[in-house]
Structure 1
Amino acid sequence: MPTRAKSHQPRPGKRPRPYGPILLAGLVVLVVALLAGWVLRDPGNQAANAGALPQPPASPGASPGASPAASPARAGASPTAAVAGGTTVAGATTTAVDVYAHAHAGMLSPVVRDDPQLVYVPNLSDGTVSVIDQHTLRVVATYPTGRGPQHVVPSWDLRTLWVNNNVGNSLSPIDPRTGRLAGRAIPVTDPYNLYFTLDGKSAMVIAEANHSVDFRDPHTFALRHSLDVGSRCAGVNHVDFSPDGTYAIATCEFAGQLVKIDLAHERVLGYLDLGRTAAPQDIKIDPAGRVWYVADMNAGGVHLIDGDTLTKTGFVQTGPEAHGLYPSRDGRYLYVVNRGGMMTSDMVPFPHTGDRGSVSVISFTTRKIVANWAIPSGGTPDMGNVNADGTRLWLSGRRSNVVYVFDTGGNGGSDPTTGRLLTEIPVGHEPHGLAVWPQPGRYSLGHTGIMR
C-alpha cells in the first residue's frame, strides 16, 4: 500500500511558513513547462523545421582545442549533437552519422534542379570533353579544353564544372546550366585532381607530379599554401574527408602509402604504408564515417582503413586493377570498379595489359561482395559516378575509348544482384574522370562528384 505522507507541522516557537504562495508559484511553473513541451513536440513545428533547406557546415573542423585525429562520432559526442557533413540519430550513448544523408535520390538542390542531364567525359589524349545526353545515350557535343584533361569536377557551390587540364596546367570552366564552356581557362599548376574543404573556403588542387596538395581560393584559384607531402606520397591523387571535415586522407599511388592531412592547420599528420607493391587509387569513406575503403590497383581489391587511428583493419578482394569507388544512391553499397588489367612488372604500376574489367558491389553492412557485373566483351572501366536517381552507373573505358552504362539493379539499385551492363558509347581517346550531372547533395567536395 502507498505510504502516507507525513504531516509537516511547524516546530514550537516557529512562525508557520507561507506554503500557499509557494504552491501557487510551483503550479505556474509546471503549467509553463507543460506548454513549452507541447510546443516543442507540435507536429506543425516539426514540419516547418523539416522544410528548411539543409545548410553546409559553418567551419571545416571542430573547436580549436579538438584533436584533428578524432571525429565527434568516435570521441563520445553528444547523442543529439549535429555533425558536419552528415546527419545524426539520437541514441543511448553514441551519435550515428550518415555521411551521405543529403545525397540520396530525389534530393537535388534548387541550384541544380533545372540543369540538363548530361555526362561530361574528359578525353585525356585528345584534349577534349565529350558531352553525352543521359536519355538518348548519344554524344551531343565535343569541344577542346586543354592538354591532358584528367577529371571533370563540380565546384563546391555546384555552379561550375572544372576540367582539370593536367598537362596544360589550367582549369577550364563549364556552365552546367548550358553544358558549354563558360570562359577562359584559369592557369593552375599541375591540376591532376581537385577537391574542396567541407566549408567551401578552400580548393585543394592535387598536384601529383609536384608531390603537393595546393590550397587555393575556390573561385580565383590563387595559391594560398602548398603542402609538400614528400616522396613518401609519390603519386598523390585521390582524397576523401572525415565526416566533420577536420582531416582528409589522400592516396599515394607510386609510393604505396596513404597520407593523413590536418585541414585546420594544413599539415601532414602521418602516413600509412600499404605494402611494397601497393598502388592505392580512389578512396571513399563509408556512410557511418568509420571505415575508409581504398582501391589498390596492384592488389586487386580494397583495403579497409580506420581513419581516426590510420590503421589497416581488413581487405576485400574484388578484381584485377581495382580503381574507382562510388557509393550507391541509397548508401547501402559500394561500387568497386575493376579496370581489368594485369601488371607487367611487380615493381611498376604501369603499364598494365588485359581488358577483363568488371564492377564488384560490396555491402557496407557486411563488407562482403554481393554482386559482380561483367563486361561480356571485355573492357577497362575506370572513373565515373552514379546518376541522380541511382539507377545507372556511368564509367569511362580508359583503354577502350568508350563510356560504359550499367543498370544498378531493381528498385533504384537496391537489388544489385540484377545489375548489368546496358550499353557502351564511343567517345574520344583515353577517357578518364567523367562527371554525371546533376547530382543530389548540398555541396560538392570535388573529384567526379563527392556530394554531401
Structure 2
Amino acid sequence: MARSLFVLLLTVVFAFALHAQTNAYVPNQNSGTVSVINTATNTVTATITVGSSPDGVVASPDGSRVYVSNFGNGTVSVIDTASNTVVATIVTGGAPANLTITPDGTTLYVPDEFGNSVFVVDTASNTVTGSVVVGFGPLSASVLPNGTRAYVGNFFDGTISVIDTATNTVIASIAATTFPTLMHVTPDGTRLYVTDEFLNSVVAIDTATNTVVATISIGGEEVFGLAPTRDNKKIYVGTFGSNTVSIIDRATNNVVPPLITVGTNPVGMEFTPDGKFLYVANFGDNTVSVISIATNGVVATIPVGGGPLGLDITDLTVPFRRFDIDALVTTHQEFIEVGSFTLGNLSKGIDPVHTPVKVTVGTFSLTIPAGKFLKIDGTPNYIFQGAIHGMNVLFILTGDPAARSFAYFVDVHGPDLTTQPNPVNAGLTIGNNAGTDTVRHF
C-alpha cells in the first residue's frame, strides 16, 4: 500500500511563495508589556500586557507562539502570534530569566536566576515538568540547532552548565568567564558565544569539546547582548554602557570596524530571518535600533515601551491556502497518511531540512526536529526515515519548485490511533506553514 501511495505522490507538484510577515517581539521590563514591531514597516502594531518585569523572550520555531519570562512574578506568558494575545500563563515560581526553546518547539528551558536551577516546560501542556540544578545565578540559556544540548550561563559562579536534553541532566560544567551574561549558539551549532558584562569581553566555546577556544576583548563598558549573523561569519555585540554595537569576525575572533552607535543601553538583539537587518533593544531610551547589515548603519529608530530588554524575531505562521488529507489509515500499531497542500500567498516557502515538521491527528502529535530531513540529490524531494520517541517514521515530501502545490506521504509505526474521534481533526506544520483538515480514518 505504501508503495502505491508514493507513486501517486509523484504526480503532485508544489510551489514557490511570496513574503511572510515578520514581527519583532520586545519585552518592556518597566511597562510590563511586549511591543510587537512589523519589520516591513518598522512600526509598533500591538502592545501586549504580560506579567511583572518581563525579561526574556523566545518564539516557537513555527512562529505560532512567543514565550515571555516575567522576572517579577515567576511566570511565563504565552502569546498567540495570530491574535497577539496572551493565551496562557505558566507558573514557574522563582525569577525566570532569559529562556530558550528546543528546535522542535516541544520544550522550554527557563533559568531561575535566584533558584540556581532551570525549569523544564512542556509547551504542549504549558506546564513545568521538572527542573535541573545548575550553577549559581543562571541568567541565560541557548540550545544547539540539533536540540541535543542546552547551555546555561551561571552569572555568579562564572560557569556554563551543559544539559543533555534527552535526560535533562547536567553532563558538563565549563569554567568560562567571570560573569557570563547573555549567550547565543551560532546557526551552524559549532560555537557558543557568551558575553561578560563586567570584563567587557566575549568568550567562544567549542560545542564539540565544551572548551573555551577564544576570549575576545570588546572594550567599552558593560558588554551585554549579542547575536550571530545567519551566515555564521560574524557576531554582533552590544555594549550597554557605551551605547554601541561591535562586530566580531568569526574567522579570526577579532573585533573589526565599524563601531556602530545605537540607542542608550543596548541589550537584546536579533537578526531578521533573511539576515539583512539587526534589531537592537535599547533599555535606557525606550527604543529599538534597526541596523542594515549592508551598510552597518542605523536605518530606523522605533519607540517602544519602558525599559525594552529582550528581543526575538519570527515569521508568523502562514496558513496553507489549501490543505487536503487524501487518505488516513489507522491500525492498533500504525498509521499511514497521504495529503497535499498549496502554500499561502504570504508564505516564504518550505525548507524541511532546516525547520521542524509536525504531524497531528486528534490528540496525537509527532515532531520531526529540524535537521533530520534529507534532500534527495538532483530532485526537489525530501525524505526522513528514522525513529522519533520510539516510533519508526517514514516521511516523504515531493514536488516541483516551479509550481505551487506539495504532496506528502507519512507512515508511522507505534501509535494506536484507532481510538481517535472519527472523523478527526488532523494537521501538518512545516516551519511556519500550517494547515488542518477534518478526515475520516479507516
Q: Structure 1 residues 360, 144: closer, same or farther in 2, change over 3 A? A: same
Query: Is 1:324 aligned with 2:259?
Result: no
Out of 313, 324, 330, the position equivalent to 2:256 is: 313
Trace 1:48-127 onto structure 2 (pairs within 5 A). 117-127=64-74
Match of 1:262 in 2: 206
**Cα offset, 1:135, TM superposition:** 4.1
Match of 2:180 in 1: 236
Q: Secondary structure at the match of 1:183?
A: strand
Q: Give the whole-Å Cα distance in 2 for the aligned partners of 1:151 and 1:242.
A: 17
Residue by residue, what CA displacement relative to the aligned partner does 1:32-90 show, whole Å, maximum 9, x if unpaired? xxxxxxxxxxxx99x89x9xxxxxxxxxxxxxxxxxxxxxxxxxxxxxxxxxxxxxxxx
Match of 2:216 in 1: 272
Residue identity matched to 2:165:
P
Q: Structure 1 residues 306, 177: closer, same or farther in 2, change over 3 A? A: same
Residue identity matched to 1:207:
N
Match of 2:96 in 1: 149
Q: Give the whole-Å Cα distance in 1 for the aligned partners of 2:273 and 2:187.
A: 18
Trace 1:179-218 onto structure 2 (pairs within 5 A). 180-190=126-136, 191-218=138-165
Q: Structure 1 residues 183, 197: closer, same or farther in 2, change over 3 A? A: closer
Q: Structure 1 residues 197, 335: closer, same or farther in 2, change over 3 A? A: same
Richer in helix (by share): 1
Q: Give the whole-Å Cα distance in 1 for the aligned partners of 2:66 and 2:214.
A: 37
Q: Give the whole-Å Cα distance in 2 for the aligned partners of 1:249 and 1:160.
A: 22
Out of 151, 158, 176, the position equivalent to 2:105 is: 158
Tell whether the 8 Å contact from 1:329 to 1:389 is kept in structure 2 after alignment: no
Out of 370, 374, 378, the position equivalent to 1:442 is: 370
Query: Is 1:284 aligned with 2:227?
Result: yes
Match of 2:29 in 1: none
Richer in strand (by share): 2
Residue by residue, what CA displacement relative to the aligned partner does 1:311-357 show, whole Å, maximum 9, x if unpaired? 111210011001111112332211111112xxxxxxxxxxxxxxx21
Return the index of the structure with the highest Cα Rg.
Answer: 1
Q: Structure 1 residues 390, 332: closer, same or farther in 2, change over 3 A? A: farther
Match of 1:303 in 2: 246
Q: Give the whole-Å Cα distance in 2 for the aligned partners of 1:260 and 1:201.
A: 19
Which 5+ residue runs of structure 2 have no aligned equivalent? 1-9, 17-59, 319-344, 349-368, 372-430, 432-442
TM-score after normalising by structure 2: 0.55
Residue identity matched to 2:129:
G
Residue identity matched to 2:217:
D
Out of 246, 253, 262, the position equivalent to 2:197 is: 253
**Cα offset, 1:214, TM superposition:** 1.7
Which 5+ residue runs of structure 1 have no aligned equivalent? 1-43, 51-110, 341-355, 392-410, 415-440, 444-450
Residue identity matched to 1:237:
T
Q: Give the whole-Å Cα distance in 2 for the aligned partners of 1:198 and 1:112.
A: 11
Q: Give the whole-Å Cα distance in 1 for the aligned partners of 2:171 and 2:269.
A: 30
Q: Structure 1 residues 373, 257: closer, same or farther in 2, change over 3 A? A: same
Q: Structure 1 residues 195, 269: closer, same or farther in 2, change over 3 A? A: same
Q: Structure 1 residues 209, 156: closer, same or farther in 2, change over 3 A? A: farther
Q: Structure 1 residues 142, 157: closer, same or farther in 2, change over 3 A? A: closer
Tell whether the 8 Å contact from 1:257 to 1:274 is kept in structure 2 after alignment: yes
Q: Secondary structure at the match of 2:246?
A: strand
Out of 294, 300, 321, the position equivalent to 1:371 is: 300
Q: Structure 1 residues 143, 217: closer, same or farther in 2, change over 3 A? A: closer
Q: Give the whole-Å Cα distance in 1 for the aligned partners of 2:207 and 2:61.
A: 28
Query: Is 1:360 aligned with 2:303?
Result: no
Tell whether the 8 Å contact from 1:162 to 1:172 is kept in structure 2 after alignment: yes
**Cα offset, 1:243, TM superposition:** 5.0
Q: Secondary structure at the match of 2:79?
A: strand
Greater Cα offset, 288-297 or 132-141: 132-141
Residue identity matched to 2:197:
E
Q: Give the whole-Å Cα distance in 2 for the aligned partners of 1:167 and 1:265.
A: 29
Residue identity matched to 2:181:
N
Q: Structure 1 residues 265, 359: closer, same or farther in 2, change over 3 A? A: same
Residue identity matched to 2:287:
S
RMSD over aligned CA atoms reads 3.4
Q: Structure 1 residues 182, 273: closer, same or farther in 2, change over 3 A? A: closer
Q: Structure 1 residues 155, 317: closer, same or farther in 2, change over 3 A? A: same
**Cα offset, 1:390, TM superposition:** 9.3
Match of 1:425 in 2: none
